[in-house]
Structure 1
Amino acid sequence: MFADADKTPSNAPEWSVSDLAGALKRTLEDAFGHVRLRGEISGFRGQHSSGHAYFSLKDQNARIDAVIWKGTFSRLKIRPEEGLEVIATGRITTFPGKSTYQIVVDSLEPAGIGALMALLEERRRKLTAEGLFEAARKRRLPYLPQVIGVVTSPTGAVIRDILHRLEDRFPRHVLVWPVRVQGETCAAEVAAAIRGFNALEPGGRIPRPDVLIVARGGGSIEDLWGFNEEIVVRAAAESGIPLVAAVGHETDWTLIDHAADVRAPTPTGAAEMVVPVRVELMAGIHDLARRHLESALRIVERRRSDLRSTARALPTPDALFAPKRQKLDLAVAKLFPALSRNARNHEARVLDLSRRLAQVSPAARVAGLRARLDAVGQRPQNAVSRSVVQRSESLKQAGQRLVVARNALLRAERVRLAQAGDLTRRVAERLSPALHGQIARKAERLQAVAHLFDSLNYKSVLARGFALVRDADGHPLRSAQAVAEGQALMLEFADGKADATGGRGLKPKLPKTKAVVAEEQGALF
């Protein structure tokens, strides 16, 4: 009985698993096609090794799988991030291998400004925690850069504003790296431009900039979003060249403004920050030159006064010899009276001894003593005479020694005076070259400043083949639109002036700026 029941015929068709999965896929794709789906990204772990990205979109009650193929992922305006609320546009399909349905995403956009601001704030906190916005790592801009690198669109008004402002303040060599300033590839191109400028070798064929300007005009947060991408912020933070961010208007803020060394309110403000005003700089140089010359003259006058004071303080030869000569005269005047007194003293002693001898001789011994005295004869007198002669010789020798000592003293004083004179001449000889050397160095510095002034003078530009166009009142004309038909003009060349008449038969060919010439020659990347 059960066997018969199993053989009961049925009108239901038999499906294979693959056929049923294919039918469901076609039915789902035909019923929905392309849809816009709003939800929160969940389970995003970055791109797979194949380049595809897998995640889910969810709301309070449901979840749907999502996939972004490799080719589509590279064209997305914003990158998916965990927890970001987005609007995904794509087509609904099934994945037969797991019996699930999913959305194949063609484009992503944030679900309103609030979602973008939340993403921006989260990214700002992350990069701040890494120290990319620290004030300690920011550098000062060079005072007068030789080469300025600009990262911006080559066709917008921003680059023209920057070039005009630089031309008005202080013309410099400008390198422009053309990039897109909004859109899908904006962030990658800006980051590549910053790193490309930093990769240039100093002294190479293409000069390495001394300062970079990343500039863009104003716009909505979506238009400026490329400058909030991590790749741009990290490239700005890693830049070895000081970087000025001039993105948007004064009220617009992007993450590159925090990572840059200096933030400018506008692109024109960035041009004003990187170069000084040439007229003010020249005035400062003239003032410094004047002060330098006055200081040099004061130093020379003070040294001349010191030299005169030193010369007056040196004693004359007569002043040096006068005390010694006076001392010698006094010694000579005292010598002869002293010798006379010494002789008289000895004579007085002899007389005194004679008197004493006459007084102490007793009468009884007079005869014997007389006899002895007769026997002695003239010997005492001879002895006294010899003693007097010896003393005279001693006094004469003493006088000779005094004369020798006086001569030695005079010779020593002459030698000392000669040495002092030599020392004075050597000091004078060293002082004169030092003074002349100081004056020569100051003259060289003054000559260098004069050469710098000549190089900055507009007449040096005329000497290279340019001409300055003025109207009849002598005012310079800066464009062809300022010239009226038949207007009297005056052309100033390096070697003189010539009159001319304005006309509009041909469009004037204006001189090209260094940046335009560099762009035409392919010096830009």
Structure 2
Amino acid sequence: MPDTLSESPVSNAPDWTVSELSGALKRTVEDAFGHVRVRGEISGYRGPHSSGHAYFSLKDQNARIDAVVWKGVFGRLRLKPEEGLEVVAIGRITTFPGKSSYQIVIEQLEFAGAGAIMAMLEERKRRLGAEGLFAPERKRRPPFLPGVIGVVTSPTGAVIRDILHRLSDRFPRHVLVWPVRVQGDTSGAEVAAAIRGFNALPANGPIPRPDVLIVARGGGSLEDLLGFSDEAVVRAAAESAIPLISAVGHETDVTLIDFAADVRAPTPTAAAEMAVPVRGELIAEIGSLKARLTGALLRGTERRRADLRSLGRLLPSGEALLAVPRQRLDLASGRLPRALKANAGAHRLRLTRVEGRFSPQMLAVAVTRRRERLAGVLARLPRALTGNTAAHRRELARIETRLALAAQAQRNRLERGRDRLGGWLERLRRVHAQQRLDRERRLERASKLLAALSYKGVLDRGFALVRDGEGQPVHAAAAVSAGQGLEIEFRDGRVAVTAGEGPALAPPPAPPAGEKPAPRAPRKTKAAAKSLADETSQPTLFGN
């Protein structure tokens, strides 16, 4: 009997190398699927790679597929990827031999319905609002009567004609129109560039700088108005130094530029009415104010004239005022001749007394004595000047010596102070580095403690939080009545549900030993995006 164990099995199947098998699988997948449309939620997106390519995943409740957007395609995408955004990806299915996995090479992204657009806008509004771009204190009141009005809109639509017609009816002003596309892929970039372009105009340049801006567009669908919710448009509106009026769509249409603008108008026509007053009404009001001012001036003048007449009757007459001074003048004029004669006699007597002391002989003696004193002073002057100069030189030498010693002492103190300051700076750097390290460690411990105590960690492990219609946690099934509206919070969002009728479900029986429990069916809920509840409440959790 032959030894069958020693014989090797013989097969007609050819041997494949790993590269050949990977290439065959790649061709098979690409030939079988080609271009496909895949609907899912973007997960794991962290922005473009340093190479310019973008890598992320598309997922639903049960599966996940890798996705890649090449650098050349990423710049042409109408809709840029965002974490958590539900989209329809158009591309081709292929494989990546380096990881033995399949992936979709995306060539185009579209919103997965109006719900995905609203979710994206709500997330963008929350993120930009957290940066303070919608803060009320940033908004300014437009000028009462602007000299120049800048309009950012399409030059061929009915909107610009409505605005110009309304401005002409109310108060004609100089209007500058910056033509842009109000719909399409480049709409957001053109509107943002127009707002920044108006702000960049010099105050006294050849093109006048507008005093107020109007960004306007007619009504349209949610997709048509997406350009005015672009992040670049919102940031340009928030940064605008010129007051900005948003007039996009009808009164029920809401875009993100409405929250960043200084004033929101329900329609483009209403924006024109907000920009300027009615000229006729303004003229009538000015005329009324002029008439009131003229009447007030006349009444004030008449009242002051009456008061002047009343006060004039209380004043004494001119004759009464001049009677006493006139009498005093008559008395002084009668005494004046005698006083002049007496004064002249007194001055003559004083002159006679002094005259004897000013004879020529006395003056000659006085001059001789003063000449002798001057000669003596002139003889002593050279010696006095020499001695004075020597004394000042000695004093100056002593002062120079003292100054040199003081300067040297000051330089020594400065050097010692510089050495002490260097030591203090070194000690300060070491203390600052140690304090910073200690505070970083305390912050890290506090953040870990906060993450450990937050109920969000429990939600991440698959549990969910149930609240009633008032937002209060539900602690027991007996507290829920049939038809009652409930809210369930999962790790990635909230859904609203309605409690059904029927008895409370008993807990499932324990599975037999050695068997795994059957997976629970996913709950069917109505999809609705809700804001986070107060995290300080005590949640009730149950397994998902």
- TM value normalised by structure 1: 0.59
Residues 1:408 and 1:203: Cα distance change in structure 2 (over 3 Å): same
Gap change, CA 1:156 and 1:405, over 3 Å in 2: closer
Does the CA contact (< 8 Å) of 1:213 and 1:243 recur in 2? yes
Q: Equivalent residue for 2:239?
A: 238
Aligned to 2:37: 36
Q: For residues 456-471 of structure 1, what are the structure 2 equivalents within 5 Å?
A: none
* 1:39–1:58 CA contact under 8 A, matched in 2: yes
CA contact (8 A) 1:151 1:179 kept: yes
Aligned match of 1:422:
none
CA distance in 1, matches of 2:178, 2:334: 90
CA distance in 2, matches of 1:217, 1:165: 15
Q: How far apart are the structure 1 equivalents of 2:165 and 2:70?
A: 46
Distance 1:409 1:55 in 2: 119
Q: 2: CA distance between counterparts of 1:405 and 1:324?
A: 6
Give the whole-Å Cα distance in 2 for the aligned partners of 1:324 and 1:85: 107
Structure 1 residue ranges without an equivalent (≥5): 329-403, 412-525
After superposition, the Cα gap between the structure-2 partners of 1:297 and 1:89, relative to the gap in structure 1 and judged at 3 Å, is same
Deviation digits for residues 388-411 of structure 1, max 9, x if unmatched?
xxxxxxxxxxxxxxxx99824999
Structure 2 equivalent of residue 318 of structure 1: 319
> Is 1:139 the equivalent of 2:136?
no
What letter corresponds to residue 265 of structure 1 in structure 2?
A: P
2:89 corresponds to which residue? 88
Give the deviation of 1:138 after TM superposition: 1.1
Does residue 201 of structure 2 align to residue 197 of structure 1?
no
CA distance in 2, matches of 1:261, 1:118: 25
Look up the match of 1:261.
Answer: 262
Aligned residues: 334
Q: CA offset at residue 89 of structure 1?
A: 1.0
Deviation of 1:48 after TM superposition, in Å, equals 1.7
Which residue identity lines up with residue 239 of structure 1 in the other structure?
Answer: S
With over 3 angstroms needed to count, the CA separation of the structure-2 counterparts of 1:71 and 1:313, relative to structure 1, is farther
Who is 1:17 aligned against? 18
- Given the superposition, is the C-alpha separation of residues 321 and 153 from structure 1 closer, same or farther in structure 2, using an over 3 Å criterion? closer
- Structure 1 distance, partners of 2:28, 2:90, is 19
- State the match for 1:162 in structure 2: 163
Per the TM alignment, residue 49 of structure 1 is displaced from its structure 2 partner at its CA by 2.3
User: Compared with structure 1, are the counterparts of its residues 19 and 155 closer, same or farther at alpha carbon in structure 2 (3 Å cutoff)?
Assistant: farther
Partner of 2:54: 53
1:63-103 deviations in Å (ceiling 9; x for gaps): 11111123322333322211122111111112233222111
1:153 aligns with 2:77: no
* 5+ long unaligned stretches in structure 2: 336-544
1:292 is aligned to 2:216:
no
The reply on whether 1:69 has 2:70 as its aligned counterpart is: yes
CA RMSD of aligned residues (A): 2.8
Amino acid corresponding to residue 250 of structure 1 in structure 2: E
Asked if the contact 1:75/1:184 (under 8 Å) is kept, the reply is no
| SS of corresponding position for 1:201 | coil
Label 1:154 to 1:406 Cα distance change in 2 as closer, same or farther (>3 A).
closer
Equivalent-residue separation in structure 2 for 1:192 and 1:405 (angstroms): 90
- Aligned-partner residue type, residue 202 of structure 1: A
Matches within 5 A, 1:82-231: 82-231=83-232
- Does the 8 A contact of 1:64 with 1:101 survive in 2? yes
- Write the distance in 1 (CA, Å) between the matches of 2:51 and 2:79: 20
Please give the alpha-carbon distance, in whole angstroms, between the structure 1 residues aligned to 2:178 and 2:4. 85
1:302 shift after superposition: 3.9
Q: SS state of the match for residue 131, structure 1?
A: coil
CA distance in 1, matches of 2:268, 2:187: 18
The normalised TM-score by structure 2 is 0.57
> 1:407 aligns to what?
331
Deviation by residue 1:290-319 (Cα, 9 ceiling, x = unmatched): 233333333443444444445444422432
Structure 1 range deviating more: 213-222 or 293-302:
293-302
Structure with the bigger percentage of helix? 1
Equivalents in 1 of 2:140, 2:329: separation in Å? 80
Report deviation, 1:12. Answer: 2.9
